[in-house]
Structure 1
Amino acid sequence: MTQQGVRWTADQVLALAPDAASREAAGRLATAGPWSEVGSTDGGTVWGVCRGGGGGPYRTVVDVADASGPACTCGCPSLRYPCKHALGLLLLWAGGDGAVSEGEPPAWAERWVTGRREDAEAAAGAETAETGAAGAEAAGAEAAGAAGDPSGSVSRARDPVAARRRAERRAERITAGATELEQRLADLLRGGLAEAEQTGYAWWEETAARMVDAQAPGLASRVRELGSTASSGPDWPVRLLEECALLHLLDQGWLRRDRLPEDLAATVRTRVGLSATADGPAVRDQWLILAQYDSVDARLTTRRVWLYGTETGRTALLLSYGAAGRAPELTLPVGLSLDAELSTYPGGGRRRAALGKRFAPPAPVEIRPKGVTPSQALARYGRALRDDPWLESVPVTLEQVVPVPDGDSWQLADASGETALPLTPAFGNRAGLWRLVALSGGVPVQVFGECGHRGFTPLTAWPAGPGQAVSLN
């Protein structure tokens, strides 16, 4: 809710879910039966008490009008965020059938919302004060240095000389690791790929551990992927050779980084695992929230949020992380727009960005991203590879395409039927495929997704006529 009295759609609510199990559980709670004391305000607060099966009832409150994004609290012990009760309550509210009427919130809901907003204002004030103090401290230190003050008033953490030395030492370790990795790859290829099948995963894991010791987590991650590629199915030697070539290219890029253009050198630094800061200028826009999805491994949950600037026409990626078993806190509803500032990170394409100041809560918008044909999408990916040869995919909106079967798989064909993009095999096993097919019904639709060497992965779609965005995750 960003304009007074405007409710979200069910798809926008479900896009907040941290996983498929939460979406399924929320659907079972989207009826009036389990709920009591439900209500909402025109200002963006929804509350209710859910009858729980394991120790309830649970008091649930959702603040959907906060500029920092929707937030919730619930008495349940779930580690997922938002929990199934918050999602179920929002689905009940989004239904708009009178099950959640407007009124004055109870004291327990009012206390939480008021306290949260006061804390947010205090935090914003403290951040402003801290920024001012840091600037004053830096100015004072600079003045002291100019006056020849030898007292060392700049702390070690902010000492640029010490920081440069630490960076140089880490670069030396990464260089040693990349050199060792080159030798290991050469030994592997000299012995033949058949030997990779016999060595088992232990060799790859030991090599990855060596890259971790060299402080190159990006190299370690790629080595582990190589280990999972060996003996992974038909044509695995071809895929393994391709991935070895890309890893060799990354090694050589690091070892010769001083000879590369600055943007490509920044991409190489990021790919080997060096962190960077969002040094691009802050750009304010109405950012359409195109898609949000999570990828999970044993140690980390990574959330990707794609945004489209309705005025600048730029597409940006926000990344947020959560420890294993916990969803990241950044949650933005697909299909709404966010009035905010973004700053880009260095590297080819400069798509990754950091979310800066937010000026209003997410709001409905009628604008859709500009679309291209399947052939133009492939050309865009090809151009992007010049800036980042290790790029898996690029964000693309396809205009006027129809999902059609292609043997045992599916593809998105343009309205003329002359060109098409195959869907990635992983998407063919998702329920989102049938949502896309049902939305189209044989009629061309607009689809946003990721286009890469494995095909096209749809993430969000819009109907041919007027209508809200439909998340396909």
Structure 2
Amino acid sequence: MSEPTEPPWTAEQVQGLAPDASSFTAARKLAGASGWSATGHGGTPAGLWGLCKGSGSNPYQICIDLTEPAYRCSCPSRKFPCKHALALLLRWSAGQVAADEPPQWMTEWTTSRGARAVKKAEQAAAPRTEAQERAAQRRADKRAESVAAGIAELRTWLSDQVRHGIAGLDQAGYRPFEQVAARLVDAQAPGLAAAVRRLAPVPSSGPGWEQRLLAELSLLHLLAGAAASPDGLPDDLAATVSSRVGHAVTTEQVLAGPPVRDRWQVVGTRDDTEDKLTSRRVWLRGRDTGRPALVLSFAMPGQALPVDLVLGTELDADLTYYPGAAPLRALVAARHGTPRACPVPGPAQTVAQALDEVSAALAGDPWLFQWPVLLRGVLAPGSPWHLVDPDGDALPLDPSLGEPWRLAAVAGGHEITLAAEWGPTGLRPLAVYDGTEVARA
């Protein structure tokens, strides 16, 4: 008999895998239905399998590789994962799937996956031919020319804003910014395009918008100037500027960096959708090093985001950071053991400690617009609400989020640990810890 695999996921984690709400609703109904047979979990790599009666004469075969996770189902659904895979995961998380030896059809699937992974790794490791090297260099040179032209156009536009004045921008809407951003996308500088788009709401943001817009234009001017002359910059700052422009760093390059091993606490998560692309931000904090880290993932419509980093858990792992002057984004390079519950993350910061950390990060990367903090304190109502730490120092909550009634209900007037993103408009709560459990803020 195969060794039992401890179910690491709750029903909430399984729900995070669902491509849409209807799939999870159908999966919950299916998980409690009859018609399941030959279910089991175990094997190497750790897997989950089962047969589920469908509309035809043959049951659907469901295979799940728990290490990624990855799925296969013989049903005709185009959703990924389908309701059958989700239902099997729900049964497993509820303790309704026993450890067993995998059947042949499960073994064949995992073997074929392993073979494809080996082939892919061999292809990636294979040296490129001279022709491929020349072609890659031509593409890089062409992109560099395009980006340089885009930066030059951006600098001209920025000068025009100062020369002609910004008084009419509060009546112009988003169009002037969208036009510039579109040209930067064409110039293959998506990071600069995103920075310009972030300016668009400022002129309509109320009294004082002129000062706020000028401050943002100044930062963009600083970035454009640095991007135009990167050779004189220190290596870490040059890497930051390159990433802000929109140059991608490969996974292989990141994983080649020095690993940082720690007991990484998953202190907060946030999902955002823009232009049909969903992003998931998972904030980690090292229990021993105190270092923050951001693991970022993306999914197109119909795809599920990864759920291997679960809010309120802690994992012993190696992280490698993306290069930069204020390293924050990272990849999980290696795991040492399975995650465990972490109802009280820490050590928590005082307001002064958090602001010192933010200041140091901004000194390295002045274009940062959010930074993770883990604060201990009491909520104080007001306009806006504040979190007050034991020293009496306070930080405001972002007033654009509305009244934080859910957060106040969880806190109940008591001291809490709050994971949040700190930015120019205040704290954006992510999760709250009361000492026994975690709740999304």
Q: 1:419 deviation in Å?
A: 1.5
Q: Does 1:422 align with 2:402?
A: no
Q: How far, CA to CA, are the matches of 1:4 and 1:35 in structure 2?
A: 23
Aligned to 2:217, the other structure's residue is in SS state helix
Q: 1:47 deviation in Å?
A: 6.4
Alignment of 1:254-273 (within 5 A): 254-273=227-246
Q: Does 1:368 align with 2:360?
A: no
Q: 1:385 deviation in Å?
A: 0.7
Alignment of 1:117-196 (within 5 A): 117-127=110-120, 129-130=122-123, 134=126, 137=127, 154-159=129-134, 163=136, 166-196=139-169
Higher mean Cα deviation, 177-186 or 335-344? 335-344
Aligned to 1:293, the other structure's residue is in SS state strand
Q: Is the 8 A contact 2:314 2:342 kept in 1?
A: yes
Q: How far, CA to CA, are the matches of 1:361 and 1:69 in structure 2?
A: 14
Q: How far, CA to CA, are the matches of 2:50 and 2:431 in structure 1?
A: 29
Say if 1:468 and 1:45 are closer, same or farther in 2 by CA, change over 3 A: farther
Q: Is the 8 A contact 2:52 2:84 kept in 1?
A: no
Q: Is the 8 A contact 1:32 1:92 kept in 2?
A: no
Match of 2:209 in 1: 236
Say if 1:102 and 1:83 are closer, same or farther in 2 by CA, change over 3 A: closer
Say if 1:228 and 1:285 are closer, same or farther in 2 by CA, change over 3 A: same
Q: How far, CA to CA, are the matches of 1:104 and 1:331 in structure 2?
A: 21
Q: Does 1:221 align with 2:194?
A: yes
Q: How far, CA to CA, are the matches of 2:51 and 2:215 in structure 1?
A: 54
Match of 1:458 in 2: 429
What TM-score do you get using the length of structure 2 for normalisation?
A: 0.79
Say if 1:447 and 1:266 are closer, same or farther in 2 by CA, change over 3 A: same
Q: Is the 8 A contact 2:26 2:83 kept in 1?
A: no
Match of 1:382 in 2: 359
Correspondence for 2:297 among 320, 333, 341: 320
Match of 1:148 in 2: none
Q: How far, CA to CA, are the matches of 1:129 and 1:71 in structure 2?
A: 23
Counting matched residue pairs gives: 429
Match of 2:378 in 1: 402
Q: 1:287 deviation in Å?
A: 3.3
Q: In structure 1, what residue type is equivalent to 2:374? A: T
Q: 1:191 deviation in Å?
A: 2.4
Q: Is the 8 A contact 1:340 1:358 kept in 2?
A: yes
Q: Deviations over 1:179-237 (max 9, x none)?
A: 22222222223222222234443332222222223221111222222234333545433
Paired-residue identity, %: 37
Say if 1:459 and 1:49 are closer, same or farther in 2 by CA, change over 3 A: farther
Say if 1:331 and 1:101 are closer, same or farther in 2 by CA, change over 3 A: closer
Match of 1:343 in 2: 320
Q: How far, CA to CA, are the matches of 1:374 and 1:361 in structure 2?
A: 33
Q: How far, CA to CA, are the matches of 1:421 and 1:18 in structure 2?
A: 36
Q: 1:397 deviation in Å?
A: 1.4
Structure 1 runs not aligned, ≥5 long: 139-153
Q: Is the 8 A contact 1:301 1:326 kept in 2?
A: no
Q: How far, CA to CA, are the matches of 1:206 and 1:41 in structure 2?
A: 56
Q: Does 1:442 align with 2:413?
A: yes
Aligned to 2:310, the other structure's residue is in SS state coil
Alignment of 1:284-363 (within 5 A): 284-324=261-301, 326-329=303-306, 331-358=308-335, 360=337, 362-363=339-340
Aligned to 2:332, the other structure's residue is in SS state strand
Match of 1:470 in 2: 439
Q: Does 1:248 align with 2:221?
A: yes
More relative contact order, 1 or 2 (CA 8 Å, 6+ apart): 1
Q: Does 1:392 align with 2:373?
A: no
Q: Is the 8 A contact 2:23 2:82 kept in 1?
A: no
Q: How far, CA to CA, are the matches of 1:397 and 1:112 in structure 2?
A: 47
Say if 1:371 and 1:177 are closer, same or farther in 2 by CA, change over 3 A: same
Say if 1:214 and 1:60 are closer, same or farther in 2 by CA, change over 3 A: same
Q: How far, CA to CA, are the matches of 1:179 and 1:246 in structure 2?
A: 16
Q: How far, CA to CA, are the matches of 2:73 and 2:237 in structure 1?
A: 44
Q: Does 1:36 align with 2:7?
A: no
Say if 1:87 and 1:349 are closer, same or farther in 2 by CA, change over 3 A: farther
Say if 1:227 and 1:156 are closer, same or farther in 2 by CA, change over 3 A: farther
Q: 1:469 deviation in Å?
A: 3.5
Match of 2:176 in 1: 203
Q: Is the 8 A contact 1:401 1:413 kept in 2?
A: yes
Say if 1:200 and 1:461 are closer, same or farther in 2 by CA, change over 3 A: closer
Q: 1:358 deviation in Å?
A: 4.5
Structure 2 runs not aligned, ≥5 long: none
Match of 2:387 in 1: 412
Q: 1:93 deviation in Å?
A: 6.1
Q: How far, CA to CA, are the matches of 2:155 and 2:172 in structure 1?
A: 18
Q: 1:271 deviation in Å?
A: 0.5
Q: In structure 2, what residue type is equivalent to 1:156? A: A
Q: How far, CA to CA, are the matches of 1:284 and 1:120 in structure 2?
A: 29
Say if 1:463 and 1:92 are closer, same or farther in 2 by CA, change over 3 A: farther
Q: 1:268 deviation in Å?
A: 0.9
Aligned to 2:240, the other structure's residue is in SS state helix
Q: How far, CA to CA, are the matches of 2:115 and 2:81 in structure 1?
A: 24
